[in-house]
C-alpha cells in the first residue's frame, strides 16, 4: 500500500486535498476552529515538503483526477517552479497559521469584544485553508480552465478574508477587490475560450507547443494578460491593492501580500514563458516599462505613507514591478531569467509576510501604526522589530538575505545583456526601498526611550513566527544552489 | 460574406462582454456594477457555447462543462458580491456623512 | 576539511556567538554580558595568533561556500588580511574594555554590545574576504551593523547623523554592488589570490575597466572618507566615544582603506592599474583629501570633530601609499593602517575620558586639563606626537616610507604634501597640548565626576589608552625589530606581491 502510494503520482493532490479537509473540519468544529486549522496547516506543510522531496528525488509528474485523461479530465502537473511555489506557500502559510493562532487569542484576551473576535476567528480558518487549497491547485494545474476555477476560488476566499476585520474601510476595499477580481477572472475566461477555439485543448503544455501568432491567439493573450495584471496589481492596475492589504487583519495582510499576489503572477508567467519567443522585444519591453514605473511609483507612495501597514502595502506595489521587468531579460537567457524571478518571488514572499506580521504585532501592542509615534517600541517587542528590519533588508537587497541573491541575479543579467535602463531601474528601486524602509526602521528601532510602554499583550507565538519567517528570508541568502536545483526540475 | 448563426451568437457574446465591461466601469452604484459583471459572464458563456457548436455536426461537450462550472462560479461570486454590497450599503449612512462634510468644506 | 580550515570560521564565530547571546540578555545581567564580551575578545585574539603562526609557517587557510552556481563566498587568510585581522582583534579587546566602563549605567547596553560584536565580526569578515563578492557581502553588512551604534544616544542630533551616515554608505554600497556585478559579468568571479585576472581584458575593454574601477573606488571611498565623500564622518562623531574609536580606528574607515588596497593590488593589480592610468587620479585625490582634512581640522573647536577631520586626512595616507605604487610607498601605506589605528584609537579614548570625567567637549575649555588628568593627557600627547610624525614615533615611520617611495617613483611633489600635512598636523594638535599642559585652568570643569580613589578616573577608562599609546610608541621605536608591523608589512609586500 505504502509502496503504491510512493510510486504513484497521487502525492500530487495531497497539498490540495489536505487544506481543503482542514477547512471543512475547522468550519464544522465551530467551538474550536483553531485546532483543526493549525493542524491542517501543519499537515499541508509536510505534504508540500514531501512533494518537493519527491520531485527532487524522482523527477516531476502528472496526475489525472479520477483517472480521466484530458481533454475531459482535469490534470495536475508537478515541475520545479510549481513545486517551488507550493513549498513557498507552505513555509509562509505555516508561519502565518502559527501567528494567527496567537493573534486571535491575544485579541480575544485583550478587549471586551470577545464575541466579535471569536466570530472573526471562526471565519478565518476555513477561508484561509480554502485559499491555501486553491493556491496549491492553481500552482499544480496543467489545465487552463482549472486555472480559472482556482483563480475564482482564490479571489472569493481572499475577498472574504479582506472583509473579515469589519472596519468600514476594509468593507469598501473588499468590494472593490471583488469587482476587480471578477473582471480579471472573466477576462481570463474569455481568453481561455479563444485559446480553446483555436487549439481545441485546455492543456497548457499542448497549447504552448502548438502556439502561433494567429489573431485569435493574440486576442486571447491580451485578455489573459490584462486579466492577470489586474489581479497581480501591476501598475496602473494597482489602485485596489493598498487599501485592501493595509486594512485587513494582520495575518490576512501577510497572506494577501505574500502569497495571493504571487499566485496570479505565477499564471501570468506560465503563459508568457511559452509565448515569449514569439512576441518579440516590444511586448516584453512594455511589461518591463510598466514594472519599472510600478517600482518607482510604489516606492514613492510608500515613502509618503504615515501608517506602517500602508507603507508595507505600497512596498508590495513596488516589488510587483520586479516580477515584470524580468521579461526582456528572459529573451536571451530564459533559464537564468526564470531562476532570478522565482528567487525574487520566494524571498519577497517570506520577507513581506514577515513584515506584515511584524507590523500587525506592533499594531496590536501599541494600538496604532503611525510610523512617527512608534519610537522606542523595540524595547517592548525586540523580536518583532528585528523581524521587520530583517524583512526590510531583504527588500532592499542587502546581504545576507535572499533579496540580495535575487537582486544579484537580476543585475548580473541586466549588465551582461547591456540593458542599462533596466540596471538603472533596479538600482533606483533599491535606493528608494532603502529610503522608505530606513524611514520606518529608524523609528521602530530608535533607541529613544519615549516608550510605548505597558505590559506586553501579544502572544509569544506572534513574535516568534514573524521572526522565523524573516530568518527564512535571510537563510535564502545561503541556499541558492538548492533552490536553483529545485527550479530546474522539469515536469 | 455570409454570417452563420454561429457568428451571430459569438459576436453577441463578445458584445455582451463589452457592454458589461462598460457598465462595470461607468455605473456608480454597486448593484449595477454587480449586474454588469453578470452580463459580462453571460457574454463569455454565450461565446463558449458557440465554440462548442463549431462548424461541424459534432457538438464538443467540453465547453458545455466549462459553462456549467462557470455558471456555478458566477452564482457564488454574485452571492458574495451581494452580501458584501449589503454591508457596504449599511455603512452608506456613515459614508454620506463624510461626503457631505467634504462638500461643505469644498 | 581539516582543523585549520575551520579556524577562519571560528574567528568569525568568536565574536558573532557572544554578540547574538548578548542580544538576548536582559539589561541587568551585567556580569554575564561583560564575561561574554571579554571571553569573545580574548578567544578571538588567541585564534588570530594561531592563524598568524600558521601563515608565517606557510600554511594556507581557506573556506569556500557556494551561494549560487559559480558564485562563492570565500574566506582566506593571506598576510594582508592577517595584518587587518590582528589590528581589529587587538583593538577590539581594548575598545570593549573601555566601552564596558564608559557605558556603565547608561541604557540599552545589551543592544549596544550586541551590535558592537556584530560590527567586529563583519570587519573581520571584510579582512578575511577571499574574493570580491565576499568583500561586498561583508562590506554592506558593516553599514547595517554600525548604524545602530552611531544613533545609540537617540538624540535628534544622533538620528540626523545616522541618517547622513546611511545615505552616504548605502549609496556607496550600491555603487560598489554595480561595480562588482559588472566586473563579474566581464571577468567571472574575481578572486584575490589570482592577480592579473583582468590583464587580458585591458586591450579590449579598457574604458569599461576604468568605469568599473571608479565605481568600486566610489563604493569603498565613502567608508574611507575620501574627499568629497567624507561628509558623514565628522557628523558621526556624535556617537559615544567607544563607537567613534571603533569607526575611526578599527571598523568602518579602515574597511574602506583596506578595500582600496584590495581593489588596486588584488583586483586590478599594480601593473594593470598603472597601464589604465588609474593610479595618478587616486594619488591626486588622496593628496587633496590629506590637505583638505588637515585644513578643516584647524578650525574645529569640538575635540572629537577635530579628530574626525584628522582621520579624513590621515586615512588617505594609506590610499596615497598604494597609489604611488613603489614597494616602499606601499609599505608606508599599509603600515599606516596599523599605526593610524593605534594612534587614533588612543586619541578617541582620551577624548572620551575628558568628556566623561570632566564634561569637556570643546578644545577652548581644555586649558589645564593636564593637571587634572595627567595620565590621560600623557597618552593623548604621545598619540598626537605620533600623528604629527615626530621621529621616532609611529607616524614618522609611515611618512618616511611614503616619502622614500614617492622619490623612488619620481613623484617628488608628494614629499611636499607630506611636509605640509605634518606642519598642519602640528598646527592643530600642538595648541591642544600646549593648552592642556601649560595654561592655567579657567573656571570650574563643566561636570567633574571626581576621582576614583587615587586614580583620575575609572581604571578601565585609563588602561586602554595607556596601553595603545605605549604600543603606538613602541611600533615606531622598534620598527626594525622582526615583530613590528613594519616587518610584517615587508613580509606582505615581499611574499604577497613579489615586490
| Predicted local distance difference test score (pLDDT) of residue A356 | 94
C-alpha cell at B33: 456594477
The answer to whether the Cβ–Cβ distance between A449 and C185 falls below 8 Å is no
Nearest to B88 among A171, A182, A202 (CB): A171
Q: Identify the residue with better confidence: C392 or B45.
A: B45
pTM: 0.91
Whether chain A has a CB inside 8 Å of the CB on C306: the answer is no
The per-residue pLDDT of chain C, averaged, comes to 86
Closest chain A C-alpha to B106 CA, distance in angstroms: 22
Of A417, A447, A477, which to mutate for an interface test with C (greatest number of C Cβ within 10 Å)? Answer: A447
Regarding chains B and C, contact by 3 or more CB pairs under 8 A is answered as no
Mean pLDDT of C11-20: 87
Average pLDDT across chain B, whole number:
84
Question: Which residue carries 469598501 as its cell?
Answer: A172
Check whether B103 has a pLDDT greater than 70: no
Contact A426, A407 (CB under 8 A): yes
User: Is the predicted pLDDT of residue A471 greater than 90, yes or no?
Assistant: yes
Q: What is the DSSP letter of A68?
A: P
CB contact under 8 A, B85 and A175: yes
* Minimal C-alpha gap between B2 and chain A (Å): 20
Interface of A with B in 122-151 (CB under 8 A): 145, 148-149
pLDDT over threshold 70, residue A133: yes
Element (H, E) at A319: helix A308-324
| pLDDT score at C459 | 80
Backbone angles phi, psi at A308, to 5 degrees: -60, -45
The pLDDT value given to residue A290: 93
Which of left, alpha, beta for C69 (phi over 0: left; psi -120 to 50: alpha)? beta
CA A401 to CA A471: how far, in whole Å? Answer: 9
Instruction: Indicate the Cα dihedral angle A52, A56, A62, A67, nearest 10°.
Output: -70
Euclidean distance between CA atoms A270 and A220, whole angstroms: 14
Q: Does B37 touch chain A (CB under 8 A)?
A: yes
The cell numbers describing C494, all together, are 615581499
Q: Point out the residue among A71, A156, A197 whose CB comes nearest to the CB of B51.
A: A197
- Count CB atoms within 10 A of the CB of residue A427: 18
Looking at CA atoms only, how far is residue A481 from chain C in angstroms? 5
Contact B52, B6 (CB under 8 A): no
Nearest residue in chain A measured CA to CA from C66: A481
Strand partners, C362: C302
Residue reference for cell 595648541: C431
| Backbone phi and psi for residue C373, each to the nearest 5 degrees, phi listed first | -125, 70
Residue A394 is predicted with a pLDDT of 93
- In chain B, which residues have their Cβ closer than 8 Å to the Cβ of A182? 37, 77, 81
Share the mean pLDDT of chain A.
Answer: 88
Average pLDDT over residues B23-33: 90
Q: Which residue of C has its CA nearest to A476?
A: C67
Which pLDDT value is given to residue C479?
78
| pLDDT number for residue C452 | 66
**In sequence order, which ranges of C188-278 are alpha helices (DSSP H)?**
202-223, 232-235, 241-245, 252-261, 270-275
Please report the domains of chain B, with CATH numbers, ordered by start residue. Answer: 5-105 (1.10.287.3510)
Helix, strand, coil percentages in chain C from 3-state DSSP, rounded to 5: 75, 5, 20
Q: Which of C21, C67, C115, C207 to mutate to test the interface with A (most CBs of A within 10 A)?
A: C67
- Judge whether B63 is closer than 8 Å to chain A, CB to CB: yes
Cell of A72: 475531459
- pLDDT tens track for C153-208: 878 888 888 888 888 999 999 999 999 999 888 888 888 877 777 778 777 888 88
**Could C159 and A446 be called an inter-chain contact, meaning their C-beta atoms sit closer than 8 Å?**
yes
pLDDT tens per residue, range C400-442: 888 888 888 888 888 898 889 989 988 888 888 888 888 887 7
Interface check for C159 against chain A (CB to CB < 8 A): the answer is yes
Residue A445: asked if its preceding bond is cis (omega within 30°), the reply is no
Q: How far is it, in rounded angstroms, from Cα A397 to Cα A183? A: 34
Q: Is A219 on the interface with B (CB under 8 A)?
A: no
Give whole-number Cα distances, C406 to A34, C205, C416, in Å: 76, 30, 11
For A261-319, how does the pLDDT look when each residue is reduced to its tens digit (9 = 90+)? Answer: 999 999 999 988 877 777 778 888 999 999 999 999 999 999 999 999 999 999 999 99
* Residue contact B47–A193, C-beta within 8 A: yes
CB within 8 Å: A438 and C159: no
Q: How far is A161 from chain C (nearest CA, A)?
A: 36
**Cell 494567527 appears where?**
A100
Neighbours of chain B (3+ CB pairs under 8 A): A
The yes-or-no verdict on residue A4 having pLDDT over 60 is no
Alpha helices by DSSP H, listed for B1-60, are 5-26, 30-53
Q: Which residue of A has its CA nearest to B95?
A: A168
Give the pLDDT confidence of A392-432 residue by residue, as tens digits. Answer: 999 998 888 999 999 999 999 998 888 899 999 999 999 99
Question: Which DSSP state fits C201?
Answer: G
Residue C249: per-residue pLDDT: 78
Reported as a pLDDT band with limits 50, 70 and 90, residue A179 is very high
Q: How confident is the model at residue B105 (pLDDT cuts 50, 70, 90)?
A: very low
Asked if C26 is an interface residue toward chain A (Cβ–Cβ < 8 A), one would say: no
Q: What angle do CA A439, A440, A441 make, to 5 degrees?
A: 95
Q: Is A179 on the interface with B (CB under 8 A)?
A: yes
- Predicted confidence band of residue A449 (pLDDT cuts 50, 70, 90): low
Find, in chain A, the residue whose alpha carbon is nearest to that of B34. A179
Report whether pLDDT(A1) > 70: no
Report CA-CA distances (Å) from A37 to A24, A87, A98, A256: 9, 18, 10, 18
* A72 contacts chain B (CB < 8 A): yes
pLDDT at C233 over 90: no
All residues at 6 or more sequence positions from B97 whose CB lies less than 8 Å from its CB, including other chains: none
pLDDT at C1: 46
Nearest chain A Cα distance for residue C131, angstroms: 15
Q: Which residue of C has its CA nearest to A433?
A: C170
CA A472, A478, A481, A484 dihedral sign is positive
Which whole number is the average pLDDT over A116-121?
A: 88
Grid cell listed for A188: 481570463
Distance, in Å, from the CA atom of C168 to the CA atom of C220, rounded to the nearest integer, reads 11
Of A152, A186, A193, the CB nearest to B51: A193
Q: Mean per-residue pLDDT for A22-39?
A: 91
Question: What is the Cα A430 distance to its own chain's centre?
Answer: 20
All residues at 6 or more sequence positions from A481 whose CB lies less than 8 Å from its CB, including other chains: C66, C67, C68, C69
pLDDT at A182: 93
Q: Which of A163, A179, A237 to mutate to test the interface with B (most CBs of B within 10 A)?
A: A179
Enter the C-alpha cell of residue C327. Answer: 614597494
Query: For residue A102, what are the CA distances in angstroms to A161, A293, A360, C229?
Result: 17, 38, 12, 48
With contact defined as beta carbons under 8 Å apart, do A356 and A312 qualify? yes
Q: C67 contacts in A (CB within 8 Å)?
A: 405, 477-478, 480-481
List chains adjacent to chain A, taking adjacency as at least 3 C-beta pairs closer than 8 Å.
B, C
* Cα–Cα dist A107/A110, whole Å: 5
* Residue A307, φ and ψ in degrees, nearest 5: -105, 140
8 Å CB contact of A178 and B33: no
At B2 the pLDDT is: 62
Residue B94: its chain A contacts at CB < 8 A? 168
Q: Grid coordinates standing for A424?
A: 538603472
Q: How far is residue B4's CA from residue A473's CA, in Å, rounded to a whole number? A: 58
Cell readout for A145 is: 480552465
Percent of chain A with pLDDT over 90: 54
Three-class secondary structure of residue A32 per DSSP: coil
Confidence of residue C72 (pLDDT cuts 50, 70, 90): confident
Q: Please classify residue C273 by burial: count the beta carbons closer than 10 Å to its beta carbon, then call 0-12 exposed, 13-18 middle and 19+ buried.
A: buried
Determine, for residues A412 and C65 on separate chains, whether the beta-carbon distance falls below 8 Å.
no
Chain C: closest CA distance from residue A329 (Å): 15
Contact C178 A427 (CB under 8 A): yes
Inspect the interface and report whether the beta carbons of A398 and C140 lie closer than 8 Å.
Answer: yes
Report the alpha-carbon distance of residue A273 to residue A180 in Å, rounded. 25
Distance between CA B96 and CA B46 in Å, rounded?
A: 39
d(CA A118, CA A107): 9
At C297-307, the pLDDT tens digits run: 888 888 888 88
Q: Say whether pLDDT at A451 is over 60.
A: no
Pick from A149, A160, A193: CB nearest B73: A149
Q: How far apart are CA A359 and CA A254, in angstroms?
A: 10
Contacts of C185 in chain A (CB under 8 A): 412, 415-416
**Number of helices (H) and strands (E), helices first, in chain C?**
20, 2
Nine-digit cell string for A226: 490584462
Angle (CA) C276-C279-C285 rounded to 5° is 130
Model confidence band, residue A7 (pLDDT cutoffs 50, 70, 90): low
Q: What H or E segment, with its residue span, contains residue A126?
A: helix A114-140
- Whether B87 has its CB under 8 Å from any CB of chain A: the answer is yes
How do A75-78 and C71-77 pair as beta strands?
Answer: unpaired
Amino acid at each position: 500500500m505504502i509502496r503504491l502510494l510512493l510510486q504513484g503520482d497521487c502525492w500530487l493532490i495531497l497539498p490540495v486535498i489536505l487544506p481543503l479537509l482542514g477547512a471543512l473540519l475547522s468550519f464544522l468544529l465551530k467551538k474550536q476552529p483553531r485546532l483543526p486549522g493549525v493542524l491542517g496547516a501543519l499537515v499541508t506543510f509536510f505534504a508540500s515538503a514531501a512533494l518537493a522531496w519527491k520531485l527532487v528525488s524522482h523527477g516531476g509528474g502528472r496526475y489525472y483526477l479520477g483517472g480521466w485523461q484530458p481533454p475531459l479530465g482535469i490534470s495536475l502537473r508537478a515541475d520545479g517552479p510549481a513545486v517551488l511555489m507550493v513549498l513557498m506557500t507552505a513555509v509562509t502559510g505555516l508561519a502565518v497559521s502559527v501567528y494567527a493562532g496567537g493573534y486571535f487569542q491575544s485579541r480575544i484576551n485583550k478587549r471586551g469584544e470577545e464575541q466579535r473576535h471569536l466570530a472573526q476567528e471562526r471565519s478565518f480558518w476555513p477561508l484561509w485553508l480554502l485559499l491555501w487549497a486553491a493556491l496549491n491547485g492553481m500552482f499544480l494545474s496543467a489545465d487552463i480552465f482549472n486555472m480559472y476555477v482556482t483563480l475564482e476560488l482564490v479571489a472569493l476566499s481572499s475577498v472574504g478574508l479582506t472583509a473579515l476585520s469589519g472596519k468600514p474601510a476594509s468593507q469598501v476595499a473588499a468590494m472593490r477587490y471583488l469587482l476587480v477580481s471578477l473582471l480579471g477572472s472573466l477576462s481570463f475566461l474569455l481568453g481561455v475560450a479563444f485559446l480553446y477555439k483555436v487549439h481545441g485543448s485546455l492543456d497548457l503544455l499542448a497549447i504552448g507547443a502548438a502556439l502561433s501568432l494567429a489573431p485569435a491567439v493574440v486576442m486571447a493573450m491580451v485578455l489573459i494578460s490584462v486579466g492577470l495584471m489586474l489581479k497581480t496589481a501591476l501598475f496602473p492596475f494597482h489602485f485596489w491593492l493598498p487599501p485592501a492589504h493595509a486594512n485587513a487583519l494582520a495575518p490576512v495582510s501577510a497572506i494577501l501580500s505574500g502569497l495571493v499576489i504571487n499566485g496570479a503572477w505565477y499564471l501570468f508567467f506560465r503563459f508568457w514563458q511559452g509565448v515569449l519567443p514569439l512576441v518579440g522585444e516590444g511586448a516584453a519591453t512594455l511589461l518591463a516599462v510598466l514594472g519599472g514605473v510600478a517600482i518607482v511609483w510604489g516606492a514613492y507612495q510608500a515613502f509618503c505613507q504615515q501608517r506602517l501597514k500602508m507603507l508595507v502595502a505600497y512596498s508590495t506595489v513596488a516589488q510587483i514591478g520586479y516580477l515584470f521587468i524580468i521579461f526582456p531579460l528572459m529573451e536571451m537567457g530564459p533559464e537564468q531569467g526564470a531562476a532570478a524571478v522565482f528567487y525574487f518571488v520566494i524571498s519577497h514572499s517570506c520577507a513581506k509576510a514577515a513584515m506584515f506580521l511584524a507590523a500587525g504585532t506592533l499594531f496590536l501592542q501599541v494600538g496604532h501604526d503611525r510610523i512617527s509615534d512608534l519610537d522606542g517600541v523595540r524595547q517592548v517587542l525586540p523580536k518583532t522589530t528585528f523581524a521587520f528590519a530583517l524583512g526590510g533588508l531583504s527588500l532592499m537587497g542587502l546581504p545576507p538575505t535572499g533579496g540580495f541573491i535575487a537582486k544579484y541575479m537580476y543585475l548580473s543579467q541586466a549588465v551582461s545583456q547591456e540593458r542599462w535602463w533596466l540596471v538603472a531601474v533596479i538600482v533606483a528601486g533599491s535606493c528608494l526601498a532603502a529610503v522608505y524602509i530606513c524611514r520606518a526602521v529608524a523609528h521602530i528601532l530608535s533607541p529613544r526611550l519615549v516608550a510605548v510602554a505597558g505590559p506586553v499583550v501579544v502572544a509569544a507565538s506572534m513574535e516568534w513566527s514573524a521572526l522565523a519567517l524573516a530568518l527564512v528570508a535571510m537563510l535564502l541568502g545561503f541556499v541558492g544552489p538548492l533552490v536553483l536545483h529545485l527550479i530546474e526540475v522539469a515536469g | 460574406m455570409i454570417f452563420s448563426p454561429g457568428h451571430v451568437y459569438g459576436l453577441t457574446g463578445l458584445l455582451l462582454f463589452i457592454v458589461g465591461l462598460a457598465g462595470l466601469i461607468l455605473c456608480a452604484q454597486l448593484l449595477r456594477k454587480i449586474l454588469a459583471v453578470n452580463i459580462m459572464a453571460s457574454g463569455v458563456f454565450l461565446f463558449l457555447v458557440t465554440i462548442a457548436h463549431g462548424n461541424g455536426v459534432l457538438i464538443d461537450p467540453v465547453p458545455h462543462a466549462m459553462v456549467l462550472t462557470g455558471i456555478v462560479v458566477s452564482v457564488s461570486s454574485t452571492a458574495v458580491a451581494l452580501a458584501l454590497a449589503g454591508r457596504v450599503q449599511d455603512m452608506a449612512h456613515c459614508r454620506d456623512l463624510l461626503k457631505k462634510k467634504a462638500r461643505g468644506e469644498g | 576539511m581539516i582543523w585549520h580550515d575551520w579556524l577562519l570560521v571560528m574567528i568569525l564565530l568568536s565574536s558573532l556567538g557572544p554578540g547574538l547571546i548578548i542580544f538576548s540578555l536582559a539589561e541587568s545581567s551585567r556580569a554575564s554580558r561583560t564575561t561574554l564580551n571579554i571571553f569573545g575578545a580574548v578567544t578571538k585574539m588567541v585564534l588570530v595568533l594561531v592563524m598568524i603562526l600558521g601563515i608565517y609557517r606557510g600554511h594556507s587557510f581557506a573556506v569556500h561556500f557556494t551561494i549560487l552556481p559559480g558564485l562563492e563566498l570565500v574566506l582566506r587568510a593571506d598576510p594582508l588580511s592577517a595584518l587587518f585581522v590582528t589590528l581589529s582583534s587587538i583593538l577590539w579587546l581594548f575598545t570593549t574594555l573601555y566601552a564596558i566602563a564608559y557605558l556603565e549605567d547608561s541604557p540599552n547596553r545589551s543592544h549596544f554590545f550586541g551590535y558592537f560584536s556584530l560590527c567586529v565580526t563583519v570587519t573581520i569578515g571584510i579582512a578575511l574576504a577571499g574574493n570580491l563578492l565576499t568583500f561586498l557581502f561583508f562590506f554592506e553588512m558593516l553599514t547595517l551593523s554600525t548604524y545602530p551604534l552611531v544613533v545609540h544616544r537617540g538624540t535628534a542630533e544622533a538620528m540626523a547623523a545616522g541618517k547622513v551616515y546611511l545615505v552616504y554608505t548605502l549609496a556607496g554600497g550600491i555603487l560598489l554592488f554595480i561595480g562588482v556585478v559588472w566586473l563579474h559579468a566581464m571577468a567571472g568571479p574575481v578572486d584575490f589570490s589570482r592577480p592579473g585576472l583582468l590583464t587580458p581584458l585591458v586591450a579590449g575593454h579598457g574604458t569599461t575597466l576604468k568605469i568599473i574601477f571608479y565605481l568600486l573606488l566610489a563604493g569603498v571611498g565613502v567608508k574611507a572618507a575620501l574627499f568629497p565623500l567624507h561628509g558623514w564622518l565628522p557628523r558621526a562623531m556624535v556617537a559615544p566615544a567607544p563607537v567613534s574609536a571603533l569607526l575611526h580606528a578599527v571598523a568602518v574607515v579602515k574597511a574602506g582603506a583596506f578595500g582600496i588596497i584590495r581593489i588596486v593590488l588584488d583586483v586590478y593589480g599594480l601593473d594593470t592599474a598603472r597601464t589604465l592610468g588609474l593610479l595618478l587620479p587616486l594619488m591626486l585625490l588622496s593628496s587633496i583629501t590629506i590637505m583638505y582634512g588637515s585644513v578643516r581640522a584647524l578650525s574645529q573647536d569640538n575635540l572629537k570633530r577635530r579628530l574626525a577631520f584628522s582621520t579624513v586626512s590621515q586615512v588617505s595616507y594609506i590610499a596615497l601609499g598604494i597609489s604611488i605604487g613603489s614597494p616602499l610607498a606601499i609599505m608606508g601605506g599599509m603600515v599606516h593602517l596599523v599605526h593610524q589605528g593605534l594612534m587614533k584609537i588612543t586619541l578617541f579614548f582620551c577624548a572620551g575620558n575628558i568628556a566623561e570625567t570632566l564634561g569637556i567637549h570643546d578644545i577652548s575649555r581644555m586649558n589645564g586639563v593636564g593637571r587634572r588628568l595627567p595620565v590621560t593627557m600623557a597618552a593623548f600627547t604621545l598619540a598626537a606626537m605620533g600623528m604629527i610624525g615626530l621621529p621616532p614615533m609611529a607616524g614618522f615611520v609611515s611618512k618616511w616610507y611614503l616619502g622614500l617611495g614617492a622619490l623612488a617613483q619620481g613623484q617628488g611633489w608628494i614629499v611636499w604634501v607630506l611636509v605640509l600635512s605634518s606642519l598642519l598636523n602640528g598646527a592643530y594638535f600642538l595648541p591642544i597640548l600646549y593648552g592642556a599642559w601649560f595654561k592655567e585652568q579657567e573656571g570650574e570643569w563643566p561636570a567633574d565626576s571626581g576621582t576614583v580613589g587615587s586614580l583620575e578616573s575609572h581604571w578601565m577608562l585609563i588602561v586602554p589608552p595607556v596601553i595603545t599609546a605605549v604600543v603606538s610608541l613602541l611600533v615606531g621605536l622598534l620598527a626594525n625589530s622582526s615583530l613590528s608591523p613594519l616587518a610584517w608589512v615587508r613580509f606582505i609586500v615581499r611574499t604577497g606581491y613579489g615586490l
